[in-house]
Amino acid sequence: MLRGINVGGQKIIKMKSLRASFEALRLGRVRTYVQSGNVIFEASKTSPDNLSGKIREEILSDYGFSVPLILRTSGEMEKIVSDNPFLEERGIDRSRLHVSFLSTLPAEAGLRKLDALDALPDRFSVKGREVYLHCPNGYGRTKLSNNALEKLLSAEATTRNWKTVIALVGMSSE
């Protein structure tokens, strides 16, 4: 998942071109979902850090800018879906659910800062490298934005709505 492309007329990348960039790295079955930097692909066994570095270099070379990048395997995505604590709540509006994906595990000090944040009516739950969000007034109004999470948790973050998360899991299992 790439953060911050095709938003507000900045860092524009056409998905056909983005797929070609991933294919140039010899990644297999490259697919994209919507225009916001969701890329599903197959890769040979390699470390996520190594693969992430190669993708960042390719994007910088091809488009002249760098973007934050978060990788998850299909198995990790399936677990993320099954671990969403808000799904246990009766009558939850799934259109108000989001997941913020972090580049690293947050440190305890960062988690304490996040816990101290008054984000109501929004709620969150941190599990591993994911922050599950319930934003009843919409994500656009939350204090739990990518920028806020990055500052508090000292990790890169990118957020996807629940519909996108479910679509990515479906596409990764095809």
What are 72-109's pLDDT values in tens digits?
A: 999 999 999 999 999 999 999 999 999 999 999 999 99
Taking phi over 0 as left and psi of -120 to 50 as alpha, with beta for the rest, 91 belongs to: left
Strands 123-127 and 157-161: unpaired
Q: In what order do the strands lie in the sheet with 130-134?
A: 123-127, 130-134, 97-102, 157-161
User: Residue 70's closest CA among 107, 44, 104?
Assistant: 104
Residue 46 binned pLDDT confidence (cut-offs 50, 70, 90): confident
Does residue 168 surpass a pLDDT of 90?
A: yes
Residue 150 binned pLDDT confidence (cut-offs 50, 70, 90): very high
pTM: 0.95
Residue 44 binned pLDDT confidence (cut-offs 50, 70, 90): confident
Task: Report the pLDDT value the prediction gives residue 63, as an integer from 0 to 100.
Answer: 96
Task: Report the pLDDT value the prediction gives residue 48, as an integer from 0 to 100.
Answer: 87
Q: Is the previous residue joined to 136 through a cis bond, with omega within 30 degrees of 0? A: no
> Is residue 169 within 8 Å of residue 81, measured between CB atoms?
yes
Distance CA 3, CA 52 (A): 13
